[in-house]
Structures are given as C-alpha cells and as structure tokens.
Structure 1
Amino acid sequence: MNAQPKSILVADDDPVVIRTIFQCFKQMNGKYDLLNASNGQAAYEITLSEKPNLLLLDWDMPLMNGLEVVRHLKQVPSTQNIPVIMITGKFTSERALKEAFDIGVTDYLRKPFNQVELLARTESTLRFYELHKREKQALQQIIDGKNRELSSMVTQIIQRNQLLEGIQQKIDPLTAQHQTLVQVSKTIHQALEIDNHWERFKLLFEEVHPLFFKHLQRLSADLTPHELKLCAYIKMQLGNKEIAQVLNISIRGLETARYRLRKKLKLTNKQNLNTFILQI
C-alpha cells in the first residue's frame, strides 16, 4: 500500500523560485502534494485551512514576512507544531537565524539551493517531525493511562470512606450498651484517618506531574501533607464535594483548608486558587 502523499506549502513572492521548487519535487513520483502562496498573508491563511505537513517559507515576502507567518501560526494550537523550513538570502546574519530558531523555525535553506539539498532537508525534517509526533502520542497514551488509574484510586477512596462512615453511623447509637461495638467504632474511625492509599497515589501522581510537589514546596516550605493532598486533588480537577469526601472532611472544613492554603501560597484576592494550582 502506497503511503499518503505529504502536503507541502511553498510560499515565495518570486514565481521563478516557486516553479523551481515545484520542478524539484516533480521527480518524487507523487510523494508530495504541493501548495503555493505568493505572499505571507496567503501562506498564513492557506496553512490555517489546509494544515500542510511542512512549510517552505521565503524570509522576505509582501504583506507578512516569513517570521511573522511563523509567529502567528505558533499561536494557533492546530498549526503550532507544523515544521517550517525558512528560505533565506545568501547574506542572512547568524543573529537573524537565531531569532528564527527561537520563534520555532525548524531548519533553513540559503538561496541559491540545489535539488539534492532541498529534498534532503525536506526528508529529514518530515522524518524528525513524524518521529516526534509518534513519541508524543505514545507519551500521551501513558499519561492518559496513569490519569485513569489516579481517578480509579480516588473513586475507591471515596467509596471506602462512604462505606466506613455508613457503618459507623449505624454503630454509634449502640456503643453505649455494647463495649465491643465501642472498639469496633474506634477501629473504623482509625481506618478513616489512616490513608494507606496516599503513598501509592503520590508515586503515580508524580509520574504524571514530576515536579508538582517540589514546585509547591519552593513556593511555601511549610505546606502540610494534608495541604499537599489538597493541591494534588485540585490539580486533578476534582470538585469540592469529591475532595471533601477523599480527605474525609466537611465542605466547611474544606473551605477553611483552602483559605489556609491561599494564605501560605500568598495569593491575592484576585487570584483564583484552582487556576493557580492548574498552572503549576
């Protein structure tokens, strides 16, 4: 089965350059589908609509130069990862090239270039991008799996706490008459206090968010284990009711805990705690 052709947008205000590049790729037997644009604005709009696999952009173009096109595309989630080879003049400075790489250009070609160099740069850029995309997808699958496991652990903790609390509520009225039930009630209370799941949860959480707790402790060295747990559950975007159930506290108790956490993190009245935690 033949691989689907890769699409390449060639943007240059010189029609001779575009014809030359098209002629170079013509010998690749349908391996590439070529698009063209004669100015930066057109290149930007075509990229937004067509999502090509690679951009070959001239540095100097009317309406919007190559660097401006890249800057705008990097701000759009659907185009920010498209690789770009910048076509430059012979005398483009090293400083200008550094600026191009800093904003996200993948590679560059100096005019005049030959067919071998053009095709080699194109092939290597597309291979690198494809490898990077696959690695990113594989990593995301691992992270998604660990997030599902974290969510499952939270659900198990909530269900366990609800079960033990239900049993304790039934036992409490009888404890005055039965000493054995007093001991059972104490055991249940201790079980609710001891969080055997936390260490396992923390290890798994740190695999998904490796520097989260270290960053928090740099912000405030005196955060308690209870407050670190609260931050982790906020990071997972659990609701207040779920967090209260996991921590085995009331909603009022959770509000107090959030207030103390805000104080330790030195948040202003305008800063939202959840938003702040999610950005860490």
Structure 2
Amino acid sequence: MIFKKLIALEPLNLIPSAEKKLESFAENVLIYNDIPSSIAEIIERIDDADAVLVSYTTTLGREVLEQCPNIKYIGMCCSLYSAESANVDILYANSMGIAVTGIRDYGDEGVVEYVVSELIRCLHGFGNNPNGKPRKPWSEIPREITGIKVGIIGLGKSGEMIADALHFFGAEISYFSRTRKPESEKKGYRYLPLNELLAGNEVLITCLNKNTILLHEEEFKYLGNRKMLFNTGLSPAWDEEPFVKWLAGDNLAYCDTIGALGSEKLVKHPQVVCMEVSSGRTSQAFIRLSEKVLSNITNYLKKQSEK
C-alpha cells in the first residue's frame, strides 16, 4: 500500500536522500519549501491529500482538519511529547480516524553540548559577553564544573543526558520531575521538591515540554539571587513578569532560541545570553530526524497493508 497524495506542508529539515525516499510512499508527492502564512493557505496546500507531513512551525488545528476530509495520516517531523503540547490537534485527528505520528530524541546531543559549553564559558570567563565586552568569570576566580550544584527540572531523556554529562564533570545533581526516577537516583541524583531544588542549587536547568510553565512568582522567590538559569525547552518555563524581575538581580539566563526565551525584547537584556539559534539543529540531528520520520511512515503503511 502507498498513499495517493503526500504533501510536505513546509521545510522539514530532512536530508536529501530522505526527501527522495518520500517518492516511494505515494503516487504523487509535493514538497513545499516555505511556511504557509495562513489557515486558508494550509488548507489550499493540503487539498485532497491523504498524507501530510508537517514540522513545528505550522499548526494543524481542528479548523484545518475539518476542511481536509481525505487526510488519513499526519507525520509530525518534529518532537511529539504530548497531545496537549503538539502543534497538531491530535485528539480531534484521532477521533476522525486520522493517525498522527511524531518523533523524539533527535536533537538532544546538541542541546547537551550547548549547556556544557555555555556553563564552562560562564564559570571560566571565556570569550565575550553579548555586548562584545570580555566576559568575566562567574566567580572572582575561574571555577570548574567540579562540585557545582545543578538542579534539573524535568528529568526526561534530554534532562537525563544533561545530568549525566555534568555529573561526568563532577557536578552534584539533584532533580525535580512529575515522577521519581529510581534508576537516576542509583547514579546519585537526588530528588527534591521544586522549591527546595530552586533554593539549593546554583545552576538550574529546565528541560520541559513545550508550553509547560512551572516557574511563577513564588518559585522565583525560592530561586533567589546569584543563580544561573538554563532553559532547553521550546518555550519559556516561566511567567515573564517575575522572570524579568528576577533578572534584575545578580543572575543570568541562558536560552538558545528566542522561542525558549519567550520575547524578542529580552534578547538584548544584559543578564540574558541568547544565541538565537537552535542548538539541536545539527547535521547528525537531521539524519536522526530523517530516519525516524521514514520509519514512522513505513510502519504505518505496513500496518495498513496487513489489515
């Protein structure tokens, strides 16, 4: 079995050989190289397609799916952690018999390297600040990661990888998560309630699903002053007003993208270090992404053929 018409709604970051492979999955394949600017354009592009591929920059909500009754399969070429945080209305799609697949864990390695790199630069005073002035060590004398207290908020796959990397360099790791992680605790990682984690660590790293906010005004009070806060998620882990107030102290916030920071106006804030580029967008990540997207399509078509 193959699809009658497969549409890639926007750039998918697939490697060339993977894009070529898409031709074997459908009688007709159409790949768009720009992002649709409106719901009307999304619907026009999908037309009568029975398979749609989408990245993270386009939303397929109910208002789109209702106008595209031929869709049988949606392949998310981006991270899918939960139906609530997805840019596809998965619950409605499933209720209409549309299968939705997504992927995970394809860009984590680059994120880990980003956190380690920026933390080392901060502790040692390597390079320049965003304003171009030479960076000073976080403390008066350059420090190693050894012995630094790091709190991980959200110990999923990427959080665990970051914890392992920093633990290798000698950091003391504690974590907060919705569920306890016995295997992680065997490594010496301590579970702490969120407010205790915030108060007791010098470095805090949020590794949360998109649109998950855990840091409100009360949490920033516990976080206190003279702290480093890294956000590795796709969206802010905080409410903006208490975050900006917290930045006014002797603190630093690190985000790789404006999306993770939450506001373009904060990019030039003197206490913010934002690269404005996704640290997970590496050549290796695109290979892993491509392999997982093709595997999802292959498995779906195989199951349909077996029915």
Alignment TM-score > 0.5, same fold: no
User: TM-score under structure 2 normalisation?
Assistant: 0.30
TM-score, reference length from structure 1: 0.33
The structure with more strand, counted as a fraction of residues: 2
Please identify the structure whose Cα radius of gyration is greater: 1
Q: Which has the higher contact order (CA 8 A, sep 6+)?
A: 2
Q: Greater helix percent: which structure? A: 1
